[in-house]
Amino acid sequence: MRRSGLLLHISSLPGAGGIGTLGKEAFAFADFLVKSGMKIWQVLPMGPTGYGESPYQSSSVFAGNPMLISLEALAEEGLLTLAPGELYIPSQEGKVEFEGVRQNKEELLLRAFHQSEGKLKRELADFIKENDWVEDFALFTAVKRSFGNNMWTKWPDKAIVLREPEAVAKYRADLDEQVRYHIFCQYIFFKQWFALKKYCNDRDIELFGDMPIYCAEDSSDTWTHPEVFQLNKDRISTRVAGVPPDCFSEDGQLWGNPLYDWNSLYEDGYGWWIKRMRAMSKMYDLVRVDHFIGFANYYSIPYGAPTAKTGEWVPGPGKRLFETFRKELPGLNIIAEDLGVQNERVRRLLKFVGYPGMKVATFGFGGGSDGDDNQHFPGNWTENYVAYTGTHDNDTTIGWLNTMDEATIQAAKDYLGDFKDADEGVELFMACVLNSPCDTAMLPMQDVLHLGGEARMNLPGCMGGNWVWRMQPGAANDEVAAHLHEMNVKAKRL
C-alpha cells in the first residue's frame, strides 16, 4: 500500500505557552494531514527530555513528557483555573525557550494537581494499576529532585541508589506528595495523548513513533532494572554505547549509554523488552527503532574511555529477540532505522525480520558515492522502505542545497531535473520521494514549508540550540494542504 506522511514533533506545533502541546493545535494538524492526503504523522520520542533537551536521552522509556501537556485543555476540563496571561509568553515565537517554559508549566501543573487530584482519585488508581512502571518513575523523579537533580548513581544515600527495600519505603513516604504529583502528570499526559491518537485513527491517520534503542544512563530504567544492563555492583556501567571512528569523526562517537546485558535478558525470555515494545505498540501505530543495527552487532566501549577509539564490535541478540517478538507481540509494526554501517550480520537480520528500512534522498548525492554504490541514491530504492527527503538529524533540504558543493548540486540536478534555485530544488526532492517505489514516503514539515537551515531540528554533536524549532501559526494552511494533496494524487499515494 502506497502512503505518505509528515514528520513534525509535538513540541514544534504553534500555540500558546511557548511550546507545542497535545492540545487544539495538534488536532488542527491532524485535520491538515487529512486535507493533504497524508496518512501518517511521525513524531520524535515522547519521553521527558534529558541532557541538552534531547528526546533521545530520556529519564524513562515508558513515561511521557509533561512539557507537552496542554494546560488550555486542562482548563477547559475544569481541572485547572487559568487566568489570561498566565501561560508563558516567549520572546520569539519560532523557538522553544525550554527553561522559561518548564518553570511556567511546572508551576501550573502543580496547581492543577492540587485542584483536581481529589476529583481524579479513581482514574489515578486505575492508571497506576494499568502502568506498573509509573510509581517507580515517579519515585525516581522525586528522589532525584530532592538531591538537586544529581545523577542517581551519585545520590548521597547509597541505600536508595541500590534500591534497598527499607530505603525505597522511607523515600516513598517522605516524598509522598511529590510522587503523587509526578503520577498525576503522567496520567494527564497519556489521557491527552490517547485522545489525540483516537482522533487521528478515526480519520485514518496513523501515529508513527520513534524509539531509541538505548536508555539514558541517568534514567529510572537503569535505576529500577539494573539487571537489564551491563552495570557493576555499584550500578556503574562497565561498557557503554557509541560508534567507531569513520570519515565523519576520527575519534568515533562516544554516546555513553549503558549497554544491555543480552545474556541476562535472554535467560529472562526478554521480558523487559517485551514490556517495552508492548507499551510502544499501544502508544503508536508504527514504531521506528533507532539504531536498529545494534540488534545485529553493537559497538562496546570501556566505561571511562576518553573516545570511542578503543571500542569493539560485539554480536547482538539477533534473530532470537525478534522470534520472541513474533510470538509474544504479533502484528508489531516496526520500521528499522538501518542508517550506518551494514555488515553481513546486519543484512542477514534485516532480511530475516523483513521490516522496512530507511532511505534518505539527500544522502543519495555527493561524497563520491553516487549511483550504483550508494544505497540512498533514489535510483536504487525499492518498495520495502520508508523514503525521506531528510530526517530530524539532517539539515533541511533547502539548507542542504544552500551549502553543498557544485558537483553535488549538479549530481542532484542530473537525476531530479534542473532547478534554478533552492525553492525549486526542494519541490523536486519532495516529488522524488513521493514518486519513488518506496511503500512509504515521509516529508519533514520544514521541507514542506521551504525553510532553510535556521529551522533544522538537530545538529548531532553540537550542544545547545537543538530541538527548539517551532512552526509559525497559520503555516499549515489550506493552500499548503492543497499542494500536498495534488502531489499525492500524482504520486498515486491516496
- How far apart are the C-alpha atoms of 386 and 238, rounded to whole Å? 36
pLDDT at 455: 97
pLDDT at 367: 66
**For residues 395 and 453, is the Cβ–Cβ distance under 8 A?**
yes
Per-residue pLDDT tens digits for 157-208: 999 999 999 999 999 999 999 999 999 999 999 999 999 999 999 999 999 9
Residue found under cell 491516496: 494
- How far apart are the C-alpha atoms of 271 and 199, rounded to whole Å? 32
pLDDT at 462: 81
* DSSP type of residue 430: H
Tell me the backbone φ, ψ of residue 239, rounded to 5 degrees.
-135, 145
pLDDT at 368: 58
Rounded mean pLDDT, 304-329 = 97
Name which of 176, 24, 25, 17 is nearest 108 in CA terms. Answer: 17
Cβ atoms within 10 Å, residue 123:
13
Rounded mean pLDDT, 443-469 = 93
| Dihedral angle sign, alpha carbons of residues 140, 144, 149, 152 | negative
Share of the chain above pLDDT 90, in %: 93
pLDDT at 460 over 90: no
The three cell numbers of residue 343 are 555488515
Residues with catalytic annotation? Answer: 290, 337, 393
pLDDT at 461 over 80: no
Q: How far is CA 234 from the centre of its chain?
A: 30
pLDDT at 74: 98
Per-residue pLDDT tens digits for 203-243: 999 999 999 999 999 999 999 999 999 999 999 999 999 99
The three cell numbers of residue 357 are 528500512
CA distances from 98 to 19, 393, 466 (A): 8, 20, 11
- Of 257-266, 267-276, 342-351, 359-368, the one with minimum mean pLDDT is 359-368
**For residues 304 and 242, is the Cβ–Cβ distance under 8 A?**
no
54-86 exposure pattern, b = at least 16 Cβ within 10 A, e = fewer: bbbbbbbbbbbbbbbbbbbbbbeeebbebeeeb
DSSP output for 447-463: HHTT--GGG-S--TT--
pLDDT at 245 over 60: yes
| Dihedral angle sign, alpha carbons of residues 17, 19, 24, 29 | positive
Angle formed at CA 307 by CA 302 and CA 311, multiple of 5 degrees? 45
Q: What SS3 state is found at 284? A: coil
pLDDT band at 441 (very low <50, low <70, confident <90, very high): very high
pLDDT at 169: 98
| Composition of the chain by helix, strand, coil, percent to 5 | 45, 10, 40
- Mean pLDDT (the chain) is 96
pLDDT at 396: 98
